Amino acid sequence: MTQVLTKWVYPFGSGHADGSAEMLDLLGGKGANLAEMSKLGLPVPPGFTITTEVCSVFYENDHNYPIELHGQVAQALADVETLVDATFGDQKNPLLVSVRSGAQASMPGMMDTVLNLGLNDETVEGLARKSDDERFAYDSYRRFIQMYGDVVLGVAHHHFEDILENYKDERDYRLDTEMVAEDWREITCRYRKEIICEHGKAFPQDPKIQLWGAIGAVFGSWMNQRAVTYRRLHDIPESWGTAVNVQAMVFGNMGDDCATGVAFTRNPSNGLKQIYGEYLVNAQGEDVVAGIRTPQPLTLAGKQSGGVDSLAMEEVMPAVFDKLKGVCDSLEFHYCDMQDIEFTVQKGQLWMLQTRNGKRTAQAALQIAVDMAREKVIDEREAVTRVDPVSLEQLLHPTLDPAAPRTVLARGLAASPGAATGVVVFDADEAERRAHGGDDVLLVRIETSPEDIHGMHAACGILTARGGMTSHAAVVARGMGRPCVSGASDVRIDYGAGTLAAGGRTVFAGDVITIDGSTGEIMVGRVPMVEPELGEEFTILMTWADKYRILKVRANAETPEDARIAREFGAEGIGLCRTEHMFFEGARITAMREMIMAEGEVDRRAAMAKVLPMQRQDFVELFKIMAGMPVTIRLLDPPLHEFLPKMESEYAELAEATGSDPNKIRHRAAQLHEVNPMLGHRGCRLGITHPEIYEMQARAIFEAAILVGRELGKTVKPEVMIPLVATRTEFDLLRGRIDKIAEDVKEDLNAELSYLVGTMIELPRACLCADSLAESAEFFSFGTNDLTQTTFGISRDDSAHFLPIYEEQDIISKDPFVSIDVNGVGELIRIAAERGRSTRLDIKLGICGEHGGDPSSIAFCQRIGLEYVSCSSYRVPIARLAAAQAAIGKLAESD
């Protein structure tokens, strides 16, 4: 009987390989691509990959390997010996190998590598003879001892560095190049002594022991702190494990016909179709990475664009460069994507050490995707999946010049992307004043409230000391496309003194600072910026995306400016017009406050009547801009106390303005105070107890719709949305009042009127009763911000106290206010969609929370079959692209 043994080891090299690029999960990225390149007939030093399954066994069995592993490694090693015609541990013709990690996902620099393995006091002499270069041999040996000592034996780097520095001092050497063979030999002796001293045991001379030591260290490095942290940050599951690649060494440091380098098959910064990269003559790969010597450009073009004097590889080694160019072409053709390549030239012979899909900027990603589709390397559909939707944000906002120096004052949350420089202003009114005066203003507040909207609008950036990623400041800033850093808790703001202090430094009102809403950095003074550019490729790719997209994309917008930007970015309507902003500006807030202070319904109606023409004009403008596209208008949502002044000093001011008594205002404010305003007297509850508000709004909407409809010559069909509905009765009652107003307006203006009435679904109860609601509501729009707050029982304003700790400790994988919590909030949305459709098959379903612009949330929306997502204007392109990828099935939901 033949026993089928598990295959733990996959050899590659010399035109053959047991593995392939498809075996990514088993062989890791590096191993799979080494195998693939071997099979393509490219020059790959032979070697073998120990699978990620071994890693799992290793951790499941208390750091023990599968029993068959030793035999399989020995066999693979023997095969490598045959292929390169050298023998592991042989004194005359020693085989040297590298031992490298390689996980399914790239984790650059996180895990350990050992080079030159196989050297010892005897084989080093063989290497010297074989290479005819004693200095090279002992340099290689000392590098190996140091790496092995550090990675496998736990003797820290600095021990070795100190020895080298001392030695150079003794000899009065200044550069490593002054070291001759004898010097390096002496260094290897001293290194080995240090290892006995620090490690307690001698440096192992047996290459087999060296090999297993290195394999163990690489597997062990899967669980080191850096790797664990990196995985958490990049959502890489621990269960994947790493593979280990053992490969015959090739040397780029054996003379001037040797070199080592990295190449991108296209330019990773701008995406242009030209090989781009760097190399070093007579060097090992680590020299390029370490930055000890300045690398030289690969191409003449690169030399020109970089403005450097050093010689390009194209000039120095034209034949090898031609070969490299051929390899680049065939790799790109084979992988159908831009490749990031590592190579070594050993005595004029090119060797490929790695290939992988290259990282690139958003702009490059766009360019490459569009170019490759034009070149027919990929099709349009594939091109659409090649750009990370979130990366588009880099293109939509100005960014700091990465080369510019900066002094970081403090850090907060990267709440709204883009960078901004301006004078510090602590007050919304002053922000508006100074902005009108022509200043670039940075509005700095402890936290913002709806009363600050005009100041936020006038500012070019917003900084707050409190509040999370979904605080008022963050949400509004993203909606307006203003860069914002929120929750900078190390910053102390003193309104009275007009100062902002952090890190021992004080900034005064009027001083200039810069914020980077993409990193959360707050910087002193002005930092130079790079303006965004939306090229032709952007337009082309978005057109392709729109072809494949199923979900419609609307914008959350309430001002004409927002609406215009939304249309420019391709929004197909407004999914959420938050009307509270229409109560804050100028004379409106006074009328609103009159309403709040009024004694009876008559006075309340009189106050609202003052607001009617202004809101009607707001809607007229919005409807005109949207030119017949759907516009969903949410009736007033926030509680009344948000419209009253907060400060004692403002009471008197308001009292004078409204001819009232400050005591009365104070009393009313106290009366309206709420313990948990998020769960308070707001949304439709306000609509029910104060009928005059929604009635005024409905009238403004309907009159505007008729007026604009006449002007445009086509029907404007507004979608009136009732917020915070918990019960069918609430909805029916308000829908009845709205329908009544519609009848009145039709009669008053003698016109037809077409509209929908629906509800924002933002409470768990509404999801559960969706079947009943849908009998009466013509659409649902999921307000996922509040739905997340209630489903999770988390106030987003207060979540900064514990959510960061939750993320750090992996209690939640992602902030649920950023990506839809599929198992909780998502489950309620699924239930609501299912129940809603059960009573109204064609009910319009959309989402208008912050999640509408988050790709993984969009993937979820696609799966459960919503009709549209709505997001802030600046995220519309992101949503369009994400929706296309979701439709194609190439976008993952979060857990």
Tell whether residue 679 is a contact of a copy of itself (CB under 8 A): yes
Binds a copy of itself by CB under 8 A, chosen from 408, 812, 864, 888 = 812
Min. distance of Cβ 188 from a copy of itself in angstroms?
47
| Paired tokens of 296 | 């030289």
Of the candidate residues 769, 777, 878, 879, the single one contacting a copy of itself (CB under 8 A) = 769
Regarding 239 and contact with a copy of itself (CB under 8 A), the answer is: no
**Cα–Cα–Cα angle for 419, 422, 426, rounded to 5 degrees:** 110
Member of 112, 342, 719, 762 binding a copy of itself (CB under 8 A): 762
Q: How many CB atoms lie under 10 A from the CB of residue 658?
A: 18
Q: What character string, x for contact with a copy of itself (CB under 8 A) and - otherwise, covers 687-706?
A: -xx-----------------
Could you tell me which of 893, 887, 884, 895 has the C-alpha nearest to residue 389?
884
Q: Which of 2, 177, 649, 809 binds a copy of itself (CB under 8 A)?
A: 809
The correct pick among 60, 600, 801, 841 for binding a copy of itself (CB under 8 A) is 801
Q: Total binding residues for a copy of itself by CB under 8 A?
A: 49
Listed in sequence order, the DSSP H helices in 307-398 are 313-316, 318-335, 362-374, 380-385, 393-396
Q: Which of 763, 843, 847, 884 binds a copy of itself (CB under 8 A)?
A: 763
Closer CB to a copy of itself, 433 or 765, in the complex: 765
Which of 210, 791, 862, 873 is the binder for a copy of itself (CB under 8 A)? 791
As a whole number of angstroms, the distance between CA 103 and CA 87 comes to 28
d(CA 452, CA 435): 14
Pairing between β-strand 574-578 and β-strand 631-634 as defined by DSSP bridges = parallel
Q: List the one residue from 75, 229, 729, 838 that touches a copy of itself (CB under 8 A).
A: 729
Please identify which of the residues 484, 848, 861, 871 carries the catalytic annotation: 848
Please name the residues in contact with 386: beta carbons below 8 A apart, sequence gap of 6 or more. 337, 365, 368, 369, 372, 378
Query: Any contact of residue 674 with a copy of itself (CB under 8 A)?
Result: yes
For residue 172, the 8-state DSSP code is T
Q: Tell me what percent of the chain is helix, strand and coil, each rounded to the nearest 5.
A: 50, 15, 35
* Residue 677 touching a copy of itself (CB under 8 A): yes
Sign of CA dihedral 351, 357, 359, 361: positive
**Short-list 90, 99, 98, CA closest to 130:** 90
370 vs 738 by CB, closer to a copy of itself:
738
Helix/strand/coil for 425: strand
Residue 411 beta carbon to a copy of itself: minimum distance, rounded to whole angstroms: 18
Q: Which pairing describes strands 499-502 and 505-508: parallel, antiparallel, or unpaired?
A: antiparallel
Identify the helix (H) or strand (E) that includes residue 779: strand 779-782
504, burial (CB in 10 Å: exposed 0-12, middle 13-18, buried 19+) = exposed
Coil, strand, or helix at residue 844?
strand
What is the enclosing helix (H) or strand (E) of 536?
helix 536-548
Could you tell me the sign of the dihedral formed by the alpha carbons of 338, 894, 568, 385, in that order? positive
Question: Should residue 730 be labelled a site residue for a copy of itself when binding is judged by CB under 8 A?
Answer: yes
Binding mask 506-545 for a copy of itself (x = CB under 8 A): ----------------------------------------
Least distance in Å: CB of 721 to a copy of itself? Answer: 16
Distance CA(620)–CA(520), nearest Å, equals 38
Alpha helices in 240-340 (DSSP H): 285-290, 300-306, 313-316, 318-335
Q: Does 139 bind a copy of itself (CB under 8 A)?
A: no
The span of 234-242, 323-331, 603-611, 796-804 binding a copy of itself (CB under 8 A) equals 796-804
Q: According to the binding rule CB under 8 A, does residue 580 interact with a copy of itself? A: no
Say if CB 89 and CB 123 are below 8 A apart. yes
How far apart, in whole angstroms, are the C-alpha atoms of residue 424 and residue 525?
A: 10
The correct pick among 156, 189, 292, 805 for binding a copy of itself (CB under 8 A) is: 805
**Region binding a copy of itself by CB under 8 A among candidate stretches 175-183, 559-567, 649-657, 676-684:** 676-684
Kindly calculate the radius of gyration of the chain based on its CA atoms and give it in whole angstroms: 33
- Does 472 qualify as catalytic in the annotation? yes
- Is the CB of residue 884 less than 8 Å from the CB of residue 590? no
* Helix (H) / strand (E) containing 38: helix 24-39
Residue 848 annotated to the active site: yes
Restricted to residues 771-790, the positions that interact with a copy of itself (CB under 8 A) are: 772, 786, 789-790
Q: Per-residue x/- marks for a copy of itself, 621-660, CB under 8 A? A: ----------------------------------------
| Binding span for a copy of itself by CB under 8 A among 126-134, 381-389, 528-536, 765-773 | 765-773
Residue 323 structure tokens: 């070969």
- Considering only 685, 717, 746, 837, the residue that binds a copy of itself (CB under 8 A) is 685
Residue 724 contacts a copy of itself per CB under 8 A: yes
Give the helix/strand (H/E) hosting 759: strand 756-761
Token representation of residue 820: 């839809």
Find the shortest distance in angstroms from Cβ 789 to a copy of itself: 6
- Report in angstroms how near the CB of residue 675 gets to a copy of itself at its nearest: 4
**Residue 727 binding a copy of itself, by CB under 8 A:** yes
Contact track, a copy of itself, 817-836, x by CB under 8 A: ----x-xxx-xx--------
Q: Which of 795, 814, 837, 863 touches a copy of itself by CB under 8 A?
A: 795
Indicate which residue of 397, 472, 581, 851 is catalytic: 472
- CB 825, min distance to a copy of itself, A: 7
In the complex with a copy of itself, the residue whose CB is nearer, 652 or 812, is 812
Q: How far is the CB of 686 from a copy of itself (least distance, A)?
A: 8
Among 377, 540, 678, 751, binds a copy of itself (CB under 8 A): 678
Q: Which of 108, 402, 713, 793 binds a copy of itself (CB under 8 A)?
A: 793
CB 613 within 8 A of CB 707: no
Q: Which is nearer to a copy of itself, 269 or 813 (CB)?
A: 813
Kindly give the interhelix angle for 52-60 and 24-39, rounded to the nearest 10 degrees: 150
Euclidean distance between CA atoms 268 and 365, whole angstroms: 8
Is the Cβ of residue 183 or residue 642 nearer to a copy of itself in the bound state?
Answer: 642
In terms of CB distance, is 750 or 823 closer to a copy of itself?
823
Q: Toward a copy of itself, which CB reaches closer, 125 or 821?
A: 821
Q: Min. distance of Cβ 724 from a copy of itself in angstroms? A: 6
Number of H helices, E strands in the chain: 35, 34
For residue 639, the minimal CB distance to a copy of itself (Å) is: 9
Residue closer to a copy of itself by CB (options 375, 798) is: 798
Three-class SS state of 298: coil
Distance, in Å, from the CA atom of 97 to the CA atom of 477, rounded to the nearest integer, reads 55
Instruction: Give the shortest CB-826-to-a copy of itself separation in angstroms.
Output: 9
Helix axes 586-597, 601-626, angle to 10 degrees: 150
Report the C-alpha gap between 501 and 489 in whole angstroms: 11
Q: Applying CB under 8 A, which part among 58-66, 261-269, 425-433, 810-818 lies near a copy of itself?
A: 810-818
Binding site residues, a copy of itself, CB under 8 A: 672, 674-681, 685, 688-689, 724, 726-727, 729-730, 733, 762-765, 768-769, 772, 786, 789-795, 797-798, 801-802, 805-806, 809-812, 821, 823-825, 827-828
Residues annotated as catalytic (active site), given as ranges: 472, 848
